[in-house]
């Protein structure tokens, strides 16, 4: 069995796999790391390998404690990847983006795949039909856009996302909702259209914490998979076992 741990900007995900079958997926605050790991090994004592992916800070003590339970691989830019990495600055490529590219490589072999991850930032990652990672884009995330309007102005309030009836707002709050939601929908559809124009038979994957909010709002055909990141991390763990 495998354990993959994805430490994000605000939350940590814990996923247990048997081969490629996902047995358990949990999310918690990063401060609960040690207690969560202890619970997982009590429930799944056959876990023999673990992978840690972190976009934030992981204390050495936490890595050392996890290593008491099983073999641990900390994902880094020196880790092996199954695809050809043509990113101009591979040492700056985020671990989450490496995992998403790996998931695309294994789940859609010899296909053009665009993975859109709607987390703290919106990331676009492209694997072509030759198995080559060629890059993508990064833009402000869903909640980040609300926070930016509030923090960078004197009077705009801090809002939480909600549905709005018309793209033409008739109050400050509805105008803000329209600007964020309608703007992001048009960004997503416009970006997908650009990739469709360049890459034939393109498969588009939408994942990340805010993806469900936008699934039915896009005109383009997509596949929604909220587990795509941890599935990619599990593939990386298998690939680096040797």
Q: Which residues are catalytic?
A: 96
CB 231 within 8 A of CB 115: no
Locate 222 and state its tokens.
Answer: 């997509």
Query: How far is C-alpha 150 from the geometric centre of its chain's CA atoms?
Result: 25
* Alpha helix segments (H runs only) across 15-160: 33-43, 60-67, 95-107, 142-151
The 8 Å CB, 24+ separation contacts for 143-151 are 143/210, 144/120, 145/179, 145/180, 145/183, 145/184, 146/176, 146/180, 149/176, 149/179, 149/180
Task: Find all residues with CB under 8 Å of 184, minimum gap 6, and list them.
Answer: 122, 142, 145, 214
What letter does residue 182 receive in the DSSP assignment? Answer: I
CB 207 within 8 A of CB 79: no
Nearest of 218, 181, 175, 213 to residue 196 by alpha carbon: 218
Q: Look up tokens 């290593």; give the residue.
A: 67
∠23-104-208 over CA atoms, to 5°? 65
């Amino acid at each position: 069995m495998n354990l993959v741990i994805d430490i994000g900007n605000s939350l940590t995900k814990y996923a247990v796999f048997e081969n490629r079958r996902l047995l358990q997926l949990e999310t918690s605050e990063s401060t609960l790391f040690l207690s969560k790991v202890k619970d997982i090994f009590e429930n799944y004592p056959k876990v023999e390998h673990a992978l840690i992916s972190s976009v934030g800070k992981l204390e050495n003590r936490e890595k050392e404690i996890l290593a008491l339970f099983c073999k641990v691989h900390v994902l880094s830019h020196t880790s092996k990847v199954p695809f050809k990495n043509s990113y101009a600055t591979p040492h700056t490529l985020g671990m989450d983006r490496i995992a998403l590219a790996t998931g695309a490589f294994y789940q859609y072999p010899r296909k053009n795949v665009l993975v859109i991850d709607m987390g703290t930032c919106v990331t676009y990652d492209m694997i072509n039909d030759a198995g080559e990672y060629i890059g993508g884009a990064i833009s402000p995330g869903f909640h980040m856009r609300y926070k930016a309007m509030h923090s960078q102005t004197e009077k705009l309030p801090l809002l939480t996302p909600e549905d709005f009836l018309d793209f033409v707002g008739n109050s400050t709050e509805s105008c803000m909702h329209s600007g964020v939601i309608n703007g992001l929908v048009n960004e997503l559809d416009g970006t997908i259209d650009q990739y469709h124009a360049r890459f034939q038979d393109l498969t588009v994957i939408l994942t990340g914490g805010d993806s469900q909010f936008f699934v039915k709002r896009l005109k383009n055909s997509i596949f929604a998979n909220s587990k795509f990141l941890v599935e990619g991390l599990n593939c990386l763990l298998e690939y680096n076992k040797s």
